[in-house]
Chains A and B, each alone.
Chain A
C-alpha cells in the first residue's frame, strides 16, 4: 500500500531555466488552408494563383490581386476611382465605418472598374473586392458598375464583371436596393444592343448582387467551391427547419441545377476568357470564307 511512497524515482528532474522556445517562423511565411487544414508556404500558395496546392481550395482574391492575374500585365485604365460613399440615410456609425474600411482595404469602395486587355483584346471590366465592407453594393458600387457598362456600350467593347458580395449594403437601404434595378437596366440596354457580357462569380456572391448583374451574363462562369445564392444558409435552415447539405449553394450545386454555364479553375479562367472573347471578335473566319 505504501510501497509507492518509498519507491525511488528512476529519473531526475531538471528545473527548466528557460521556457521552451517555439521554432521561429516569421509572420506570414506559412498559411493554413481553411478547407483541408494543410499548412503551406504562403509563397507556394501565391505562386499557385492563391489556390491550395493540396486540395484545390480557391482563396479569396482582392480586386487588385484579381486584376494582376486577369488583365494583360496587370494593367488597368481605371474609371471613376474617386467616387466614394455618402451617408444618405444618416445611418448610425456608417460614415466612420466606411472610413475604416477604406484604410484597412486601401480601396475607395467595393469595386474597381476600368479598361484593359485580355489576350490583347480590349475589354471593360469590373472587379469586386470582398475586403471592402464584405463587397456590399451601395450607391458607389452600383454607379461604378453602371458607368462601366455604359462605357463598354459606347466603345462597343465586351464587359466582364468579377463578382463577390454579401449583397445590398444595409446602411444605404432603399438606395442600395435600387442599384440592382439600375445595373440590370444598364445590362438590358447593353445586351439588347448586341453587347457581350461575361459574368465571373467568385466566392462568395449572394443577395442583391447575385440577384442582379451576377446572374445576367451571356455566360455565367464561377470559380470552384464559390458560394453562390440568394438567401443566407442560416435563414433558409430556419425557414425549412432542416439542416442543409454541405455543398448547398456552392458553384457545383448551381452548375448541377442549371444556373451556371461552367465552373472554371482559376488557372483556366484567363485562357477561357481569351477563347470566349476571340469567338465574339470580328476577326474570326466566316462561313463564306470571306
Chain B
C-alpha cells in the first residue's frame, strides 16, 4: 500500500488477511464467517490501540503524509465562493501561500494558508509550501485588506518553514516574517489560525498570531523541525523520531503550554482518510470561535490577542522584585 505509514504495517497485514479469507471463502464455498468476524474484531481493537495512542513521531509521520489535505482542500470544502487573490504588489506572487475572500456560513472572511503541492511539479512551483518574503507580504496585504473592511481572518498553517534560499535572504526573509508578527498583533478583527499539518518555525508563526490557535489532532508545531533539531543535537538528521518525542511538538503538548486553545479531532487514522469529515469538524470549531469573538470590539480583540501571547514563557523569578533597583556599572576598564 503506497499510502501506508510504517507503523500501520501490522494493521494493514491483518486487513489483507481478512480480505484474502473472504475471497477464499467465496471461491471455495467454505464458511469462514466466524473466523472473519473474530479477525475483524481483532482488527478493530488493534486500530483503536494504534490510533488512539500515537507517539509524537507517529503523529509527525501522519502530519507529513503525502495525501494529507492541504489548505486549498480545506478552503474548497469549508468555505463557499472562494476568490483567490494574488501577489504582494512589490515583487511577485508566491504560490507557497494562497489566500483570498470566501464565505463561511454565508459570512465573508479572508482566508489564507500555506500551500504544499499535490505532486512533484506542483511542489516545485510552490516550493514545497515554504514561502519566500513575497508570500508573507502577500499574506500581510490580504490581512490589511481584511482589517480595513472589518472581515475576520482565518489562516491555515502547514509549512516546514520559510524557504531557506539566497533569493529569500536577499529580499528580506527576516523582515517579512518579523513584520507579519508585529502587524498581526495590531489588527482589530478576529483572527483564527488552524495548524493543519506541520507548523515549522517562523514561517509558520508568520500566519499564526491569532486570537485563537487551533490544531488538528496529529498536527505538529515547533521552533525547529525534528530533523533539524536531530542534526544539531546529535549530528544525525535521521534521528528525527527521537527528537520529535523530546521536543514536545504535539497538539496535546501545546494545549498544556497554553499556546493553543483547542485540539480538533481527526478521523481515525488521520485527516487524509476522510477529507469531508475533517472539513466538517474544522468548520464547526472555527465557526464556534468566530461567534465567540464576534462580540468583541476591535480594541478588545487586540488586547485579547496581545494577552494571549504576552503570557507565554517559562521562567523563574526567585524573589518578588526588590523595591530598590541596583545601579550597576560596567567595568569600563575592560574595553
Contacts and interface: CB of A to CB of B under 8 A. Distances in A.
Interface stretch (B3-11, B16-24, B79-87, B172-180): B172-180
A36 B172 CA distance: 29
Given A211-B174, A230-B173, A76 B328 contact: yes
A184 B223 CA distance: 16
Nearest to B253: A174
A49 B313 contact: no
A157 B124 CA distance: 48
Contact of A174 (B178, B182, B257, B330): B257
B236 interface: no
Given A177-B202, A212-B178, A248 B259 contact: no
B166 A181 contact: no
B40 interface: no
B246 A231 contact: no
A119 interface: no
Given A216-B182, A235-B164, A173 B314 contact: no
A25 B229 CA distance: 42
Interface string B143-171: 00000000000000000001111101111
B214 interface: no
B133 to A, nearest CB: 9
B331 A173 contact: no
B181 A174 contact: no
A236 B202 contact: no
B316 A84 contact: yes
By DSSP majority rule, is chain B's interface helix, strand, loop, or mixed?
mixed
Range of interface residues on B (Cβ < 8 Å): 35 or more
B178 A89 contact: no
A214 B332 CA distance: 26
A126 B227 CA distance: 33
Contacts of B179: 215-216
Range of interface residues on A (Cβ < 8 Å): 35 or more
Residue from B209, B254, B319 with most neighbouring chain A CB atoms (10 Å): B209
B247 A89 contact: yes
Interface string A52-88: 0000000001001101110101111111111111101
B327 A77 contact: yes
B232 interface: yes
Nearest to B312: A178
A188 B185 contact: yes
B249 A175 contact: no
Contacts of B185: 181, 184-185, 188-189
A277 to B, nearest CB: 20
A240 interface: yes
Nearest to A89: B248
Given A175-B312, A181-B181, A236-B164, A50 B329 contact: no
A185 B178 CA distance: 10
B15 interface: no
A233 B332 CA distance: 35
B309 A174 contact: no
Interface in A89-119: 89, 91-92, 114
Interface string B266-284: 0000000000000000000
Contact of B330 (A68, A79, A92, A170): A68
Given A91-B246, A182-B309, A74 B182 contact: no
A164 interface: no
A84 B315 contact: yes
Contact of B329 (A74, A182, A185): A74
Interface in A19-61: 46, 49-50, 61
Contacts of A244: 166
Contact of B209 (A82, A92, A181): A181
B232 A170 contact: yes
Interface stretch (A9-17, A139-147, A267-275, A280-288): A139-147
Contacts of A177: 201-202, 205, 222-223
B221 interface: yes
A74 B334 CA distance: 11
Residue from A82, A168, A184, A249 with most neighbouring chain B CB atoms (10 Å): A184
B106 interface: no
B201 A240 contact: no
A142 B309 CA distance: 11
Contacts of A142: 313
Given A67-B330, A229-B169, A236-B169, A185 B316 contact: no
Interface in A140-177: 140, 142-143, 146, 168-170, 172-177
A184 B177 CA distance: 10
Given A74-B332, A177-B222, A185-B209, A229 B182 contact: no
A215 B312 CA distance: 22
A138 to B, nearest CB: 8
Contacts of B314: 85-86, 88, 139, 172, 175
30 contacts: A46-B334, A64-B331, A68-B335, A79-B325, A91-B247, A140-B315, A168-B223, A168-B224, A173-B248, A173-B249, A174-B222, A179-B312, A185-B182, A187-B182, A188-B182, A188-B186, A192-B186, A208-B201, A211-B162, A214-B178, A215-B172, A215-B174, A215-B179, A216-B178, A230-B164, A230-B169, A235-B164, A248-B166, A249-B169, A259-B172
